Amino acid sequence: MRLRQELNLKTMIKAASDELEYAFSRGTFFYNDICNNIRFLDFLRSAKHFKGNRFYEMLGFSAPRDEESIEEAKKVLATDRHAFISPHSYYGSSPEILSFVREFARLTTLTIHLLENSDEENLAFEKGDIFEFLKEINAYEEHETLLNKDILEYLYNLGILSFKKLFLTHLVHANKKHMDFLNNRLPHAAWVLCMRSNDFIGEKRENWGLMQKTPLRLLIGTDSAASSPDVSILDEIYAIYKKGHFSEKQLFRAATFSAYEYLEIPVSRVPYFFYPDVSPSIESLISVKNAKILRG
C-alpha cells in the first residue's frame, strides 16, 4: 500500500506493459485482471498482449470510502460495457458494497479474495490483526450484518456466492469446515491458486490435501506483480510443480483446457505457442526465454 502511493499512472502503465510483454513471451495470453483505478482499467482495453476480463475492484469497509467506491463503480458501469465490478474481499468491501455488487454485477461473473489471511474470520468478532489494521487506518466500521457471523454464511446470505462464474482466489486457510460448505453448495465454483503471491506475503498453505480432493475447479493465477515476481502462468505452474502437490498433467490442464472451458474461451481464440528444442515437460519448457507465436 505504501509503494502504491508512490506510483503515478504513467509508471504503473509502463510496468504493466513490461509485465504483459514478458508473460506473453512465456505463453500467457488471457487474464482476469482486477484493479481499483478507473484510468488503469481504461488502459487495459487496448493494451498490447492483454486479452481477458477486466474487473473494477470495489474497496471500502467504512463510509465514506465505500460510498465513493459505489459512485465510481456506477461510472464504470455507465461508460464501459465490457468491464465487470467486483468486491475485493470479505474484509476489504463493506456489506453495502457487497449488496451493490450482487445487484449490478454483469453476466453472473464474480471474483473475490477469500481466506487468504489466517486472521480473516476474527474480524466478525472485532479482534485480530485485520481488525486492528482497519482501525489503525481509520477504515473500520461496525456492521451488524457481519458481527459474530460465520464468514461463508455471511457471504452466502448476501448473495455473493451465488454467481454462475465464481472465482474464489486463494483459499489458503480454508479448513475442512469451509471446504465442506463450498463443496456442497458451490461445486460449480473455481478456486484460483496464486502460490508465489501467498509465499511472498507469508501466508503458508497447509490444506494441500483438502484442495486436491475438492470438486471446485483448479485454476492458476499470480494475484499481481506487486506480490509475485511476474504474471507469467508458465513460471507460476513451475513454482507450484516444485512443491510436489500437483502433477504436471493437473497443472497444465488447469492452465489450459480447464481454464478455456470455465472462462468460455472459444478454441478458435486460443493462440498457439511453439517452444523450440525442448521436450514436453515443465522442466524443459521453463528454459525457453521466448516462445514463438504460431497463431493468434
pLDDT at 3: 64
> Can you read off the three cell numbers belonging to residue 219?
485454476
State how far the Cα of 60 lies from the Cα of 80, in Å rounded to an integer. 22
**% of the chain at pLDDT higher than 90:** 92
pTM: 0.95
State how far the Cα of 158 lies from the Cα of 177, in Å rounded to an integer. 20
Residue 235 has pLDDT above 70, yes or no: yes
**% of the chain at pLDDT higher than 70:** 98
Is residue 25 situated within a structural domain? Answer: yes
> Can you read off the three cell numbers belonging to residue 26?
512465456
pLDDT at 267: 87
Residue 164 has pLDDT above 70, yes or no: yes
pLDDT per residue over 45-66, tens digit each?
A: 999 999 999 999 999 999 999 9
Is residue 198 situated within a structural domain? Answer: yes
pLDDT per residue over 131-145, tens digit each?
A: 999 999 999 999 999
> What CATH number is associated with residue 37?
3.20.20.140
pLDDT at 4: 64
- Using alpha carbons, select from 33, 57, 58 the residue that is nearest to residue 45: 33
- Report residue 64: phi and psi, to 5°: -90, 0
pLDDT per residue over 7-27, tens digit each?
A: 788 989 999 999 999 999 999
Is residue 272 situated within a structural domain? Answer: no
Residue 287 has pLDDT above 80, yes or no: yes
> Can you read off the three cell numbers belonging to residue 252?
497444465
Mean pLDDT score of the chain: 95
- Report residue 53: phi and psi, to 5°: -100, 135
Residue 296 has pLDDT above 70, yes or no: no
Is residue 108 situated within a structural domain? Answer: yes
For residue 101, the enclosing domain spans 2-267
pLDDT at 213: 95
Is residue 249 situated within a structural domain? Answer: yes
Is residue 256 situated within a structural domain? Answer: yes
Is residue 294 situated within a structural domain? Answer: no
Is residue 293 situated within a structural domain? Answer: no
Grid look-up 466500521 returns 141
pLDDT at 5: 66
Residue 91 has pLDDT above 80, yes or no: yes
How many domains would you assign to the chain? Answer: 1
